[in-house]
Amino acid sequence: MAENDQLHRRGLMFILSSPSGAGKTTISRKILEADNEIKLSVSVTTRPMRPGEEDGVHYYFVDDAEFDEMIEEDDFYEWAPVFGHRYGTPKGRIRNALKDGQDFMFDIDWQGTQQLYQKDQQDVVRVFILPPSIDELRRRLEARAQDSEDVIDSRMERARAEISHWDAYDYVVINDNVDVCFDKVREILSAERMKRQRQTGLIPFVRELMD
């Protein structure tokens, strides 16, 4: 908790989504660097640990049997197979930390957002980042110089499909200028932290005022 916060509050799950190239990774990295009250959600995975990775920092590494057990116990907000391994967002660990006022950042697509919201809508804040135009999005993807024209075409097709889900989010921000977009997203985070239902310390504080 920040030093100037007098009252305890419940943490939140802050979701940033955008089509590829619209800037969610840059914005989420800037927020994590600038704000010590929020941290990136750590997923559970069945894939082997790579050199330099730490359990509980980069991922929680488990075997298939443990992952199956977590599915049976409904301990995932969402999970999915990716390239022969499975990845999931652990419910128990996050819920305990939310009670202590810890905020979590999620860099996920609209399907993951939907699953998270269905399981815990009172703790979820959904922000969708749009490019200023479809031409600018293509220009950004081409500027990376990482992909062929065919790959860029398929990314653009996927981007249009993702953009069609913009109205499933609480906030929509256009990323025309990365610094302005970052400021807007931080304002959303600050306002959401101040919501009455998250200020769990308010009830005893107000009772004291009224005694």
Question: In Å, how far from its chain's centre is CA 153?
Answer: 26
Tell me if 156 is assigned to some domain: yes
88 found inside a domain? no
Tokens matching residue 199: 């200020």
Q: How far is CA 116 from the centre of its chain?
A: 10
Domain contains 108: yes
Domain assignment of residue 77, yes or no: no
Burial category of 123 from C-beta neighbours within 10 Å (exposed 0-12, middle 13-18, buried 19 and up): buried
CATH classification of the domain holding 175: 3.40.50.300
Query: Does residue 133 fall inside a structural domain?
Result: yes
Tokens standing for residue 10 = 């419940």
Q: How many domains does the chain have?
A: 1
Q: Is residue 96 part of a domain?
A: no
Model confidence, pTM: 0.85
Which residue range is the domain that position 22 belongs to? Answer: 13-41+101-210
* pLDDT tens, per residue, the chain with 211 residues: 444 457 899 999 999 999 988 989 899 999 999 999 999 999 999 999 999 999 988 899 999 999 999 999 999 998 888 889 999 999 988 999 999 999 999 988 888 899 899 999 999 999 999 999 999 999 988 887 777 889 899 889 999 999 999 999 999 999 999 999 999 999 999 999 999 999 999 999 999 999 8
